[in-house]
């Protein structure tokens, strides 16, 4: 049984989105400190990545584990209300993500997905970002 009203549910979803934004900011800060400059949500790049490095042809996507369905992650829950509706939404998200990755690759771009839960280990995250950005 669902214990949340639709208003509470809406507020929860907003909180999740706000959290996503916090992750993006953290990633931006790390990348900036590493000395890389980027374009934010550039419409000229396939899939409008969170961070785009145009001349390097590299893109970073910051994915919330819930919305983008991080496999095996404890944040990848499914709401009890309208599971079919949610499943449909999730399936569409995954299909879109996969298509974007594929199209970027075809266009000669490299892309990196950072998951929300990876933010906990700042050192490992910084290392991953550095490795991705420095590789030619």
Binding site for Zn ion (CB under 5 A): 65, 70, 73, 75, 115, 117
Give the phi and the psi of residue 52 in degrees, each rounded to 5: -125, 135
Using the minimum distance from each CB to Zn ion, give the nearer residue, 54 or 119. Answer: 119
Query: Closest separation between CB of residue 114 and Zn ion, Å?
Result: 10
Asked if residue 133 lies in contact with residue 38, where contact means CB atoms within 8 angstroms, the answer is no
Q: Based on CB atoms, which residue is closest to Zn ion, 58 or 68? A: 68
Q: Which of 27, 47, 55, 56 is nearest to 102 (CA)?
A: 47
Q: E strand or H helix at 104, and its extent?
A: helix 83-106
C-beta of 46 vs 118, nearer to Zn ion? 118
- Shortest distance, position 45 Cβ to Zn ion, whole Å: 24
Cβ-closest position to Zn ion? 73
- With respect to Zn ion, which residue has the nearer C-beta, 53 or 61? 61
Q: What are phi and psi of 126, to 5 degrees?
A: -60, -40
Q: What is the distance, to the nearest Å, from the Cα of residue 5 to the centroid of all Cα atoms in its chain?
A: 28
Smallest gap, in angstroms, from Cβ of residue 31 to Zn ion? 20
- Least spacing, CB of residue 54 vs Zn ion, in Å: 28
Region of 14 (left: φ > 0; alpha: ψ -120 to 50; beta: rest) is alpha
């Amino acid at each position: 049984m669902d214990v949340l009203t639709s208003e509470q549910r809406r507020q929860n979803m907003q909180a999740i989105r706000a959290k996503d934004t916090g992750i993006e900011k953290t990633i931006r800060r790390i990348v900036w400190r590493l000395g890389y400059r980027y374009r934010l949500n550039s419409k000229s790049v396939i899939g409008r990545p969170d961070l785009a490095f145009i001349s390097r042809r590299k893109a970073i996507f910051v994915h919330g584990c819930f919305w983008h369905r991080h496999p095996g992650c404890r944040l990848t829950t499914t709401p009890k209300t309208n599971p079919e509706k949610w499943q449909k939404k999730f399936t569409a998200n995954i299909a879109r993500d996969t298509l974007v990755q594929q199209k970027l690759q075809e266009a000669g771009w490299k892309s990196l997905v950072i998951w929300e839960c990876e933010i906990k280990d700042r050192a490992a995250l910084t290392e991953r970002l550095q490795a991705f950005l420095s590789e030619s």
